[in-house]
Homo-oligomer: A and B are copies of this chain.
Amino acid sequence: MKIAVLPGDGIGPEIIAQAQRVLEVLRSDGLPIEMEQAPLGGAAYDEFGHPYPSFTQNLCRDADAVLLGAVGGPQYDNLERALRPERGLLAIRKDLNLFANLRPAILYPELANASTLKPEVVSGLDIMIVRELTGDIYFGQPRGIAVNELGEREAYNTMRYSEGEIRRIAHVAFGIAMKRNKKLCSVDKANVLETTEFWKEIMIDVAREYPQVELSHMYVDNAAMQLVRNPKQFDVMVTGNIFGDILSDEASMLTGSIGMLPSASLDQNNKGLYEPSHGSAPDIAGKDLANPLATILSAAMMLRYTFNQEAAAQRVENAVKTVLAQGYRTADIFEAGCEKVSCSGMGDAVVAAL
């Protein structure tokens, strides 16, 4: 189990350190885990002059899975586009062909108050968003800023999906729906965009191979509304890269505790990159204040999806549930009556619960 560990920027190193402690417990209990570190994003620019240098690339290509903290920070804002931290993230996704981004939005009962939505609207929330991650307008050509025939400057990007790209993400989404409540909602804007009309057509075609899954379709604007109106109507949602970027963030915020939400980005063979859904939080970096649970839960997803170690994954997830039940809270999820702990203090509690 070769894991490339990329702490990244901001709070990345702190949260990664706690996830590594968890993995070390599993190793000492018998899992053949090997971890090696490399920089990504701003940290990689600082060390190697590039956000995804070949040192990191080689380590990640050789590894079975990648565990990432987070990338980005204000000190990199004025770098030219190609060198900015998020370019490292986009580059590693494309390089490793991580086309399937799984982003769960789960509300932990103990944290129900953290949501800005009424408890009855979100209690028990458990949505899995499957976002296509290596296509769409993120990578489509042509793109750029240029002077047009009328002598005016204009800018353009290309939304683009091939049949094969849609088919493979459809299979991932239907496969996940089969393991859950067998309800899949495909989100498109088929009334306006040919690309998503095509997306819908392929989804309907793939659905014939999964007769037990109930497939529905929703326009992206309506999906953005329905997530607010009645999020529990959803089981699994599947959508393209840009709509998935927007809707998965909206869905995660419904829980009020994005410090708790992991993510996985998988290739065709379940090699994956695992990272918390939240960002690098430069404002609290280095202060031992961050919430490491999303990163620890990302490691659990890794055990499940890449290493097929369901028991170990559940052991980690149960340890997280235990510490919540015990009342331990980092600052982002703290409420009166609980025990406020630091990032490393939360790591201590999880290790103890394991």
Contacts and interface: CB of A to CB of B under 8 A. Distances in A.
B162 A159 contact: no
A191 B84 contact: yes
A164 B152 contact: yes
Interface string A168-192: 0000000000000000000001011
A245 interface: yes
A193 B116 contact: no
Interface string A252-270: 1110101000000000000
A251 to B, nearest CB: 9
Interface in A220-278: 220-222, 224-230, 242-243, 245-250, 252-254, 256, 258
Given A84-B191, A116-B121, A153 B221 contact: no
Interface stretch (A9-17, A46-54, A143-151, A297-305): A143-151
A143 to B, nearest CB: 5
A154 interface: yes
A352 to B, nearest CB: 32
A339 interface: no
A202 to B, nearest CB: 9
Nearest to A250: B224
A72 to B, nearest CB: 9
A143 B194 contact: yes
Contacts of A225: 249-250, 252-253, 258
A221 B249 contact: yes
Contacts of A154: 160-163, 198
Given A145-B194, A224-B247, A245-B221, A159 B158 contact: yes
13 contacts: A86-B191, A117-B117, A143-B194, A155-B160, A155-B198, A156-B159, A189-B245, A221-B249, A224-B224, A225-B253, A228-B253, A228-B254, A229-B253
Given A154-B160, A228-B254, 12 more contacts: A117-B117, A143-B193, A152-B162, A153-B162, A154-B162, A221-B246, A222-B249, A224-B224, A224-B246, A225-B253, A228-B228, A246-B246
A95 interface: no
A138 interface: yes
A245 B220 contact: yes
Q: Which 6 pairs between the two chains have the least Cβ-Cβ distance?
A: A155-B198, A224-B250, A154-B162, A225-B253, A221-B249, A155-B195
A227 B251 CA distance: 11
Given A152-B164, A156-B159, A192 B228 contact: no
Contacts of A143: 193-195
A90 interface: yes
A45 B226 CA distance: 30
A157 interface: yes
Contact of A163 (B152, B159, B227, B245): B152
A140 interface: yes
Contact of A157 (B193, B224, B250): B193
Interface string A70-87: 000000000001001010
Nearest to A244: B221
B220 A144 contact: no
A154 B161 CA distance: 6
Residue from A84, A118, A158 with most neighbouring chain B CB atoms (10 Å): A158
